[in-house]
Amino acid sequence: MQHTAQQYHHLRSANSNELRQAVRTARYQSHTAGLAPGCLQANIIILPESEALDFMRFCQRNPKPCPLVGVSETGNPVMHTLGEDIDIRTDVPAYNVYRHGNLSESLTDIEALWQPDHVAFALGCSFTFEDALTRAGISVWHIENNKTVPMYRSNILTCAAGAFGGEMVVTLRAIDKHRVDEAIAISRQFPLAHGGPVHLGDPDAIGLHDLSKPEWGDAPPALADKVPVFWACGVTPQHALMRAKLPLSISHKPGHMLVTDIDDQAEVPVYQRN
């Protein structure tokens, strides 16, 4: 059964901790867009320690698709640097489980799968800079129409590390011509949320020949006189994870993010107890 934030009006005003409690106790298991405004939300990747160093190298070399905001201790599911009492086995609304590179199941908790050698990684997401674009009055189609951002597998190659590599997944936001420079400048201020765009203009130049057919998310309307602007996407590490064909790895389910206690404007993503 899928609950949406619309059905749970009281969660619209929940803070990050209350929201995670609702997730942990299975009262909320849906997408997190717009929830706990002002709090950093994160993509999650979980894999064995034997792959963790290469995965961190992959993130370091590809900070736009993979802006690392938190790393657990090995085998400890409590992500203490991201907030108060965050248990990564239960506090994400939904998870995808990959076995040998294939999506095998989606779950709402992973207590049965967590291993003593698991390491959890949290990566920043685009909600942060989208909020900033919205505050600046820059129109973004998928937000205004309550759709999911269109995502495409580009031909831009990531910088590989160990088993991790492959093409960069990008998101499209069509921006009014006269606001493009401003959109770039705003997003560059958020290196922990994908930073500045990776490409502007001609989609063919990055291997995208039909914008009406995104690989994930909703099909966008025609560009009209807007400029197509492409940002690195947090689905890139999931794509890299599948290519790596590990026996077992876990991610959040797209859109179903970990909501942290970190201020989404923070320069340093480390939770300070009051």
Q: Cα separations (Å) of 88 from 34, 50, 78, 202, 259?
A: 21, 19, 6, 40, 11
- The gap from C-alpha 74 to its chain's centroid, in whole angstroms, comes to 22
Among 57, 139, 143, 182, binds a copy of itself (CB under 8 A): 57
Among 101, 166, 191, 255, binds a copy of itself (CB under 8 A): 191
* 267 scored as a contact of a copy of itself (CB under 8 A): yes
Q: How far is the CB of 109 from a copy of itself (least distance, A)?
A: 25
- The three-state secondary structure class of 81 is coil
Q: For residues 186 and 197, give the distance between their C-alpha atoms in angstroms, rounded to a whole number.
A: 10
Among 100, 188, 213, 245, binds a copy of itself (CB under 8 A): 188
Among 5, 14, 70, 174, binds a copy of itself (CB under 8 A): 70
Give 31 or 61: the residue with its C-beta nearer to a copy of itself. 61
The CA-CA-CA angle for residues 213, 218, 58, to 5°, reads 80
Binding region for a copy of itself (CB under 8 A) out of 94-102, 127-135, 237-245, 263-271: 263-271
Q: Taking Cα atoms as reference points, which of 263, 255, 260 lies closest to residue 29? A: 255
* 64 scored as a contact of a copy of itself (CB under 8 A): yes
Q: For residues 215 and 148, give the distance between their C-alpha atoms in angstroms, rounded to a whole number.
A: 12
Taking a C-beta distance cutoff of 8 angstroms, is the pair 34, 105 a contact?
no
Among 81, 236, 238, 249, binds a copy of itself (CB under 8 A): 81
Residues lying near a copy of itself in the complex (CB under 8 A) are found at 49, 52-53, 56-57, 60-64, 68, 70-71, 73-74, 81, 119, 159, 161, 188, 191, 195-196, 267-268, 270
